[in-house]
Structure 1
């Protein structure tokens, strides 16, 4: 095995050191570097059996130049990159939601030619990057603005439309892109090859939130459906009444009963997936099934027999309640006969950082909720797994986040992308997710099979997945989590 390059990351020992250290650790885990974090003074004063592969200094330009001038002879020949420190980590921290740098600069830095414009060569194998990539990465990875802005939304969700960042910044995992450019720079200075740049397929994590199993849930369900249709086109209402009658008479399958088609496609393309099942909840927007129902037991057996993963889908009111999450997780575990390791919150309801704490308290190892309900894309600026961070306590949390990238209902209902164009949108997001350790996490509901409500979208999802087969690697959310945990063992 080729040993990982050793990186030393230098920063001030101030109140914001834990925040800076978090970004440094996230970078080193992604880049597969062994990373030591210390102050500039500690670096100079500490004897070392060998020189590190390279050094990254985070500070203002003046501080960097003054420090480099004082130690130039001692670090001569040492690859060294300075990164500008803005005023973000300062007195207005957690008061203003603003980005540390201008959006245009940050988007420019995601491209090689744009990044190079902000790199100043100040000596032999010594460079200075004049954009604060550390604070900017922190802003996205931690969802900093969500600690400052209160979401005025019916379901208490933070929507992309609330973000002060331009929407195009979420079309790619910008933090991964910055890390790619930074890693390429330090390896060039160190005259080392990137052992991670091995051609590989994109990774797709196919997931399913099982919210509802039946559209026509007895007479009450039919009444709700008919009432909703009566406010629309009269012919549609008549057609809906006819369909409900046929389903209740046993002459037609319920539109939400789409598992035969779903499993058939999964088998043809060799795609394992993760199903998130509800273990309770009695809010109006919660599920319509019990884990003890015979059809649910049969579905569970079918999922497990295919080698797929089952996680818990905590109900509508659980996102601030570890007690409710614990109760529902236990119910799912009893139904499937083994421990559950992951979750996705119903309706994507999530409170930072309370929901992470609640999930971790229940022994869950990962969450896959953090995607925007109203826009597909990279909410954390990140593709793949990461450790979340509590900004207020300034600590890393003992759980893994695998951010959701695309949800079928987002495309159909919120973004209103026509089915024929949704394939192109999914393909662009999948391509953007490609980075070492990255993953295109997509949510495909069984309810999408309701062709009256979502005309053309089931076919769109089938076509996209079938067309991707052979060019991508399918895996489960749980396996992504396990790979990330193994990486942390080696890099810290």
Structure 2
């Protein structure tokens, strides 16, 4: 056990130290604010305060973990052993910056509570983040800092037996449109025919007709392929189903359709299923509750996982709503426009509610890359996209983290805008499991 002395044991201190030292580095910890207890301890220990007690391993603290609420925080980026860092504390500290305050700032998304410009969907933009501005968005910086800190601990306490975690991978699939043409309502089908005819999309017209009359298979029906690949590569797979009422942004098959219900029930037999809350649930608890209960009625089991449609969430409001509805895991932490690590970590963490200054029971699983980011935003070719995935996977593997990807059933179809992308998912699985 590692004993930590600090002049004040706050919820922020407990939260941050447990993430870095216990979850990332697998070292059990204990806190004390009594000098005599710290001095008497014979095992590994260090102090986290303003002034060292003696010649112990010492990290000089910034004020952030001893404050409450949101305040303006000045960020001056420097480098420690070539790695970006901030909250520098000088040479007297064994580590020249406050790794814990800096990690708290990043992992709680502190900057998303501050005034910022939102994109057209009301989301925090990647370009507003310090990770983007200082070019470390594609690095799990907190995990990198943690392992650099571990090396310092090993030098100071070489006799201690250190454990290590293992790299792992989670594949997540968002089902925004279970089918391209099948099982849509009569009105939507007729409207689609007229729209394609007006725009002279002859191939689309033929596809609509042939799929509607069972001459061809619906291109978005790639679920058996996903399950087969799951079994082949032995990977953990999660499906998030959008089962909202129809809106401009929510265009899936109606949840009242028997075939759609059967699809969801079938996926429950092979993988874990979660909710994909619709576009407007970001600020609407009643709508979120309605959709959760709808999915639970289909699966006949409590729904504990979710990912916001369009990755549309606002901190802390959306997460507070998820907690109210007893959602235990959220997979929304990432950007639509950029690949990388929104919270600067590849380790699942518990959401810290700065409004109430508590660690909540909601566990956040940050993803690193999404198929639509690679195709629609970054305009990469499938080969370039695979290279980007490989680079991100390597970053995660270096720190034995959890690599989480976000794909859609549509991208395995090779249909329309996904032409040439149908084999990317299989190729990715070979890389991430290598």
| TM bracket, shorter-chain basis | 0.7 to 0.9
**1:15-72: CA deviations, max 9, x gaps?**
xx43333212222322233323343xx2x1448874341113233xxx33xx43xxx5
How many residue pairs match? The answer is: 427
Matches within 5 A, 1:300-339: 300-306=264-270, 308-339=271-302
Does the alignment pair 1:54 with 2:45? yes
**Could you say which residue in structure 2 is the equivalent of 1:489?**
none
**Could you say which residue in structure 2 is the equivalent of 1:143?**
109
Mapped partners of 1:293, 1:404: distance in 2: 31
Mapped partners of 1:295, 1:349: distance in 2: 28
The more displaced of 27-36 and 205-214 is 27-36
Whether the aligned pair in 2 keeps the contact of 1:318 and 1:324 (CA below 8 Å) is: yes
CA shift at 1:270, angstroms? 2.3
Mapped partners of 1:151, 1:224: distance in 2: 36
Which consecutive unaligned segments of at least 5 residues does structure 1 have? 73-79, 472-492
**Could you say which residue in structure 2 is the equivalent of 1:85?**
61
SS state of the match for residue 317, structure 1? helix
**Could you say which residue in structure 1 is the equivalent of 2:144?**
177
**Could you say which residue in structure 1 is the equivalent of 2:223?**
259
Residue number among 383, 395, 403 corresponding to 2:346 in the alignment = 383
Mapped partners of 1:49, 1:87: distance in 2: 27
Matches within 5 A, 1:123-142: 128-142=94-108
Whether the aligned pair in 2 keeps the contact of 1:357 and 1:397 (CA below 8 Å) is: no
- TM-score (normalised: structure 1): 0.78
**Could you say which residue in structure 1 is the equivalent of 2:83?**
109
Whether the aligned pair in 2 keeps the contact of 1:97 and 1:164 (CA below 8 Å) is: no
**Could you say which residue in structure 1 is the equivalent of 2:20?**
27
**Could you say which residue in structure 2 is the equivalent of 1:245?**
209
In structure 2, the CA distance between the partners of 1:336 and 1:152, relative to structure 1 (3 Å rule), is same
Whether the aligned pair in 2 keeps the contact of 1:107 and 1:174 (CA below 8 Å) is: no
In structure 2, the CA distance between the partners of 1:27 and 1:11, relative to structure 1 (3 Å rule), is farther
**Could you say which residue in structure 2 is the equivalent of 1:195?**
162
For the aligned residues, what is the CA RMSD?
3.1
**Could you say which residue in structure 1 is the equivalent of 2:420?**
456
CA shift at 1:186, angstroms? 1.6
CA shift at 1:303, angstroms? 1.5
Matches within 5 A, 1:191-230: 191-193=158-160, 195-197=162-164, 200=166, 202-216=167-181, 217=184, 220=188, 223=191, 227=195
Whether the aligned pair in 2 keeps the contact of 1:196 and 1:436 (CA below 8 Å) is: no
CA shift at 1:345, angstroms? 1.0
Does the alignment pair 1:277 with 2:241? yes
**Could you say which residue in structure 2 is the equivalent of 1:367?**
330
Residue number among 27, 30, 33 corresponding to 1:36 in the alignment = 30
Residue number among 357, 362, 369 corresponding to 2:320 in the alignment = 357
**Could you say which residue in structure 1 is the equivalent of 2:395?**
432
Matches within 5 A, 1:152-163: 152-163=118-129
Which consecutive unaligned segments of at least 5 residues does structure 2 have? none
**Could you say which residue in structure 2 is the equivalent of 1:288?**
252
Mapped partners of 2:193, 2:369: distance in 1: 27
**Could you say which residue in structure 2 is the equivalent of 1:297?**
261
CA shift at 1:455, angstroms? 2.2
Whether the aligned pair in 1 keeps the contact of 2:3 and 2:38 (CA below 8 Å) is: no
Whether the aligned pair in 1 keeps the contact of 2:390 and 2:431 (CA below 8 Å) is: no
The more displaced of 311-320 and 274-283 is 274-283
In structure 2, the CA distance between the partners of 1:222 and 1:206, relative to structure 1 (3 Å rule), is farther
**1:253-272: CA deviations, max 9, x gaps?**
22212223222322322223
Whether the aligned pair in 2 keeps the contact of 1:7 and 1:35 (CA below 8 Å) is: yes
